[in-house]
Amino acid sequence: MKFLVIGNSTRGIVCSAKRAGHKVFSIDNFCDVDLKLCANAASPLENVTEGMIYELALTFGEIDGVILGTGFERLKFKNVLGNRIEVSEEVNDKLKLAKKLQALGIPHPETEELSKAGGLKFPLMIKPRCGSGGMRNYTVHHDDELAAIQSRPDAREFIAQEFVEGVPCSASLIGTGEKASVIALNEQLIGIPSLTRLPFAYCGNVTPFITQFKNEMIEYSEQIALEFGLMGSNGVDLIQTEKGVVVIEVNPRFQGSLDTVELSCGINVFDAHVRSFSGELPKPGQHKRFAVRNILYADKSIRVNERLFNRLIKCMKRQRAADIPEKGWTAREDEPLSTLLETGGTREMALEKVEKSARYIRGLTEV
């Protein structure tokens, strides 16, 4: 079959589709080396209007299905394999989601419009009402900090949420709209100082996530999937506290955990996504190894020189790196530079290996 994937960064989805035996085309912002190796053809999104996206799509010929990434869910194609627009909008709206989860009796932080945040207890997490990936999240600890954010011109774009201490984690699931199956539980790596300077930036995953609250994570995630009628690959973000798990957000699309889920469980997520639209669900995931994904962010403007490029290509060929930028490309400050991948028999073994790789690559950017 032939698929078109449109998103900010599509490499993971595109390469999963190729491994599943499909022809796949892409429109994204990065057009990384490994994306172009996997895709039958790829076009950049730079300076492209919505109308131009439809024109670009036509250049790929007849397509069996279109996959839409974050921020592109409102594009109108006749053969989108994903959640309906109204479902994505409801789930992406963190204020509406909070009210829905409260009605369902699912643990969730207290959430209010930024203008009504005075009734919540500090500290507070301030985040965009829709989207972000943690890039625009802030914590505030007293009234003066809150007032400063409330006075910003873009204040209406944000919500305030009770800050929950604990271990960030997620559930990756496949849904048919009427039933759902959790294929993996993942630990989320957020704001890791060796990878990013941004305190709440998404930095990758560890799969599996071993937790005493496994049953609760699965129960809440499948309940959410059925309530919203989620279809295909979706994710539920949670925080594990000492008392249990709290649902934070729902991602009605492919997630960044795709790499570690496939490496750990041996499942092809794209294949499971496609089959779900025929009513077929995979069996719950069984991990074979621990897999870690680290996203390395630029701590300054970094130009990919020949030495750095060659090292990343070498790692990519050994399946230890992904999202490889072209030689000469410049990663701006606080932008993702590349992705590092490792597996191991234990969480500690896999983390040790990927942290060593991250230190080495970081060293190459400091020369």
Q: Quote the CA–CA distance of 167 and 187 in Å, as a whole number.
A: 8
CATH of the domain at 148: 3.30.1490.20
User: Do residue 72 and residue 150 come from a single domain?
Assistant: no
Q: Does residue 51 belong to any structural domain of this protein?
A: yes
User: Do residue 130 and residue 258 come from a single domain?
Assistant: no
Cis peptide before 208 (omega within 30 of 0): yes
Are the C-beta atoms of residues 244 and 214 closer than 8 Å to each other?
A: no
Q: Does residue 88 belong to any structural domain of this protein?
A: no
Work out the angle at residue 187's Cα, subtended by the Cα atoms of residues 182 and 190, and round it to the nearest 5 degrees.
Answer: 130
Place of tokens 């509406």: 96
Q: Quote the CA–CA distance of 260 and 121 in Å, as a whole number.
A: 36
User: Do residue 156 and residue 198 come from a single domain?
Assistant: no
Burial of 112 from C-beta contacts in 10 A (0-12 / 13-18 / 19+) = middle
User: Do residue 271 and residue 290 come from a single domain?
Assistant: yes
Q: Does residue 101 belong to any structural domain of this protein?
A: no
pTM: 0.94
Q: 313-317 long-range CB contacts below 8 Å, 24 or more apart? A: 313/33, 315/340, 315/357, 316/33, 316/34
Chain-centre distance of CA 109, in angstroms? 21
User: Do residue 291 and residue 305 come from a single domain?
Assistant: yes
Domain that holds residue 16: 2-81
For the chain, the 3-state helix, strand and coil shares in percent, each to the nearest 5, are 35, 30, 40
Tell me the Cα Rg of the chain.
20
**What is the per-residue pLDDT across 109-135, written as a single tens digit (0 to 9) for each?**
999 988 888 888 889 989 988 875 666
310, HSE (Cβ side, Cα atoms, 13 Å): 3
**In the prediction, which pLDDT does 88 show?**
93
Q: Say which residue, 349 or 71, is predicted with more confidence.
A: 349
User: Do residue 77 and residue 138 come from a single domain?
Assistant: no
Q: Does residue 100 belong to any structural domain of this protein?
A: no
**Domain count for the chain:** 3
Q: Does residue 39 belong to any structural domain of this protein?
A: yes
**What is the per-residue pLDDT across 258-275, written as a single tens digit (0 to 9) for each?**
999 999 999 999 999 999
Are the C-beta atoms of residues 230 and 180 closer than 8 Å to each other?
A: yes
The answer, yes or no, to whether residue 338 has pLDDT greater than 80, is: yes
Q: Quote the CA–CA distance of 351 and 354 in Å, as a whole number.
A: 5
User: Do residue 172 and residue 209 come from a single domain?
Assistant: yes
User: Do residue 155 and residue 174 come from a single domain?
Assistant: no
pLDDT band at 238 (very low <50, low <70, confident <90, very high): very high
Q: Does residue 95 belong to any structural domain of this protein?
A: no
User: Do residue 157 and residue 285 come from a single domain?
Assistant: no
**In the prediction, which pLDDT does 341 show?**
98
User: Do residue 361 and residue 343 come from a single domain?
Assistant: yes
CATH of the domain at 75: 3.40.50.20
**What is the per-residue pLDDT across 62-101, written as a single tens digit (0 to 9) for each?**
999 999 998 898 999 999 999 999 999 999 999 999 999 9
Residue 74: φ, ψ to 5°: -90, -5
Q: Does residue 105 belong to any structural domain of this protein?
A: no
User: Do residue 125 and residue 240 come from a single domain?
Assistant: no
